[in-house]
Amino acid sequence: MAKKVAIILADEFEDIELTSPKEALEEVGFETEIIGDTANAEVVGKHGEKATVNVSIADAKPEDYDALLIPGGFSPDHLRGDAEGRYGAFAKYFTKNDVPTFAICHGPQVLIDTDDLNGRTLTAVLNVRKDLSNAGANVVDESVAVDKNIVTSRTPDDLDDFNREIVKQLED
């Protein structure tokens, strides 16, 4: 049975930070599912890319997935704005249980809501790094940072390295 990757997503995601890792994972046989506010709803990226939500956050069970992917753009800000904190709670399952967790650009913002970053080494886009540091993370300026089950990356320029590492994490 193929490993299944949850992708939490809202409007204004950075298009290539969804499409490139998703394609890299699917090319090697992993299944992906987009989780958002409402099943079958369409979310739209900053540059017009459209994606359909497969499973609503209300119905998503983190234990059904082998990994979590959090693309950047402004989507993570919308996810963190969920009044019930459902996306942070969903992500916390992965960080607390050492399940592979992948975030790029602004994506690591969602990980702040897990309260599980103290001492973890992460990277992100420049304007998110201070927030990660304030949450207790050791922040580095590298194309990819790997800390146990968490893989983070800075920007679309780092997608080749990021994609290679997330596939490697799931193949191991």
Which tokens sit at 36? 């958002």
Task: Classify 139 in phi/psi space as left (phi over 0), alpha (psi -120 to 50) or beta.
Answer: beta
Give me the count of residues in the chain.
172
Residue 31 CA to residue 105 CA, distance in Å, equals 23
Specify whether 106 is catalytic: yes
Q: Characterize the bridge pairing of strands 121-122 and 50-52.
A: unpaired
Q: Which of 106, 120, 129, 154 is catalytic?
A: 106
Q: Which of 25, 35, 104, 105 is catalytic?
A: 105
Residue 106 CA to residue 16 CA, distance in Å, equals 13
Q: Enumerate the active-site residues.
A: 105-106
